[in-house]
Chain A
Amino acid sequence: MDRKPTLLAALLAIGLVVTTLVVPALVSARPAYEIPVANVDNSTTLDTVDGEGWDEAPSAGVSLSSSGAAVPGGDESTIDEVRVASARTDERLYIRLSWADPTRDTSADDVRQFADAVAVQVPVNESARPPIAMGSTDNRVNVWYWNGLNVSQELLAGGPGTTTVLSDSNLESNATYQDGRWHVVLSRPLDDVSDNRTSFSAEQDVDVAVAVWNGSSMERSGAKATSEWHYLALGPGPQGPPYETILWLVAGLGIVFTTLVTIEGVRRTRGE
């Protein structure tokens, strides 16, 4: 018996196993719009932007574009992308945002000065998806807001122009500017039981959207770069790796089968 086909089949089989194991790890295993949420035990490692806890939380690139709001400059935002990571402990939900902005704007002391800022928007009702532009009267949003003056606020909104500061906020923030990038951590208790506040059951995914303002471009209000709705993967969800392993296995088997059939076909044609 010719040992060549057997050897080839063996090599292909090994290749298949290697491909199945390695390739998914190399390409993004994450569904579009997912912001993974890491489980971290020690909350102190998440409080600061460079805390160790963030090593366990993979970040997702979130594309931004002009909000198109009906204010001057509503179509002229300057920040294109923000990297978003998220982590949770038993008590708090953390979101870490990082984006490139060559100008560090931390003053609003002159009439023409505006501070850099970032905001995270979540639905008040974690099961509902509100209109992306600040929600609506019957489907409101919570906004976690931070700006370069080191002001952080928890806001409630029911449509554009309606943001209202929520009092007794448990929102905490930490920010640094390094090598042309802002890094900001915002966190809040998961289950902040009070009116008009999102209560994260941590049993289901929750929609999230992000906005970034560049102060030196005089961005403020609706003049901002905004994302589409993404979601914080807080729920069990479709388990990425096993699901993808099956897909890759099927694809791999297909490739091996096709290759073997082709080889056999060539052999027969040659009359071997």
Chain B
Amino acid sequence: MSQTDDGTDVRLADGIDHQVAMVMDLNKCIGCQTCTIACKTNWTDGGGREYMYWNNVETKPGSGYPRDWEEMGGGWDEDGEERTPGELQSKEEYGRAWEFNHEQVMYEGSDEPLRPMEQPDWGPNFDEDEGAGEYPNSYYFYLPRICNHCTHPSCVEACPRSALYKREEDGIVLVDQDRCRGYRYCVEGCPYKKVYYNAMKKTSEKCIFCYPRIEGEGPEGEVLPPSCAEDCPPQLRLVGYLDDEEGPIHKLVNEHGVAVRLHPEYRTEPNVYYIPPFAPPQHSESGESIEAERIPRSYLEELFGPDVHEALNTIERERAKVERGEESEVMEMLTTTDTADQYRLEVFD
């Protein structure tokens, strides 16, 4: 626990100097999967990683990736002391990498449309845009997900060999590939299902928060935000440190309370936070807007916990301020196009 100048408590894991964190504004996500591809081309392009999406974007309400991950257990009990057992999902439930008829279409002159060679019946993002609700009040939104680099990570606790650990300097959760023996307790122990088993290497792997990029290990020696953030067309991600008082993450999470955790009831204390989605109001049969929220609050509470109400109320107030021509620090942080404000990664030595 560290206390900031304004008296807000920022809980960091024991032995961690600082904690990297991300805020994702769900109102900006267009479901284009550019983040997914940015991550895949960087880290999971082959070698037993074909089925892995360290970053994925799923439609909510929906089954997500892997299928029904929210029903597979993991995380901590109500007191946050005992781990609750989780389950392993088969590769089918993640969605296999389908074989496509590239060869026939590209080189053999086939007139067939480009498509999977087999009839796919499940895959990542398979229930895209289905959502819930009935016309004219159906609803859905997109939920990008990476490893949450939790403050109280149950994957780390699950490993009997201490192969997973939280990096001292910035709280990034990593798998030591030399220690890992492929037991997969971390895979079942993570309630977000963000640790993946590599069947070729027989070890588990996960999102590394693009640590070589934030360390400036690239060819230019520049400090860069994670690929998923930098490549996002609508720039919905803010990246920095939870304990950087001047940064937008600390302000949005700790001061204004408008960025909330996904499934806080898992008690792993994620460090990826979400600005909950607003949707247009409901329509009447005749197409008139009516005073009713389209995305049920009860559903948002199921995803983001009870804090989502206060977050949505605050955002509504802040939006109204802007509409009246007043200033709003919250809305400014959420709409800035200045990358120096979006990505604050060089504030600590």
What is the interface of chain A, defined by CB distance below 8 A to chain B?
69-72, 108-112, 149, 160-163, 218, 220-222
Beta-carbon contact of A112 and B88 below 8 Å: yes
Assess the A221–B183 pair: CB atoms within 8 A.
yes
Residue pairs across A and B with CB atoms within 8 Å: the count is 45
Is there contact, CB below 8 Å, between A108 and B88? Answer: no
Interface contact B91-A221, CB-CB below 8 Å = no
- Collect the chain A residues with CB atoms within 8 Å of residue B182's CB: 108, 220
Known: A110-B91, A220-B183. A161 touches B188 (CB 8 A): no
Cβ–Cβ contact B187 & A70, under 8 A = no
Complex CA gap A224/B199 in Å reads: 21
Q: Is B89 positioned at the interface, with any CB of A under 8 Å from its CB?
A: yes
* Cα(A149)–Cα(B181), bound, Å: 13
Cβ contact within 8 Å between B88 and A111: yes
**Which residues of the other chain, B, contact A220 by a CB distance below 8 angstroms?**
182-184
A169 to B90, CA, bound (A): 34
Cβ contact within 8 Å between B199 and A72:
no
Q: Chain B contacts of A163 at CB under 8 A?
A: 161, 181
Is the CB–CB distance between A110 and B199 below 8 Å?
Answer: yes
Determine the distance from Cα of A71 to Cα of B157 in the docked complex, in whole angstroms.
Answer: 11
Interface of A, secondary structure class, is: loop
- Interface pair A221/B90, CB less than 8 Å apart: no
B160, A108: Cβ atoms closer than 8 Å: no
Interface residues in B134-184 (C-beta closer than 8 Å to A):
160-162, 181-184
Contact of A71 with B197 in the complex, beta carbons under 8 Å: no
Contact of B187 among A111, A149, A161 (CB under 8 A): A111
Asked if A72 contacts B90 (CB within 8 A), the reply is no
Tell whether, in the assembled complex, residue A160 and residue B160 are in contact, meaning their CB atoms are under 8 Å apart: yes
Q: Does B85 contact A (CB under 8 A)?
A: yes
Q: Are A161 and B160 interface neighbours, CB within 8 A?
A: yes
A71 touching B88, Cβ below 8 Å: no
Does B115 touch A at the CB level, under 8 Å? Answer: no
B160 touches A70 (CB 8 A): yes
Task: Please give the distance in Å from A149's CB to the nearest CB on chain B.
Answer: 8
> Which residue of B91, B94, B161 is within 8 Å of A161 (Cβ)?
B161
Q: Is the CB of B181 within 8 A of A108?
A: no
Q: Is the CB of B85 within 8 A of A111?
A: no
Residue of B94, B185, B197 touching A221 (CB-CB under 8 A):
B185
When distances are taken between beta carbons in the complex, the residues of chain A under 8 Å from B89 are: 111-112
- 12 A-B contacts (beta carbon < 8 Å): A70-B160, A71-B185, A72-B188, A108-B182, A110-B90, A111-B89, A111-B90, A160-B160, A161-B162, A163-B161, A220-B182, A221-B160
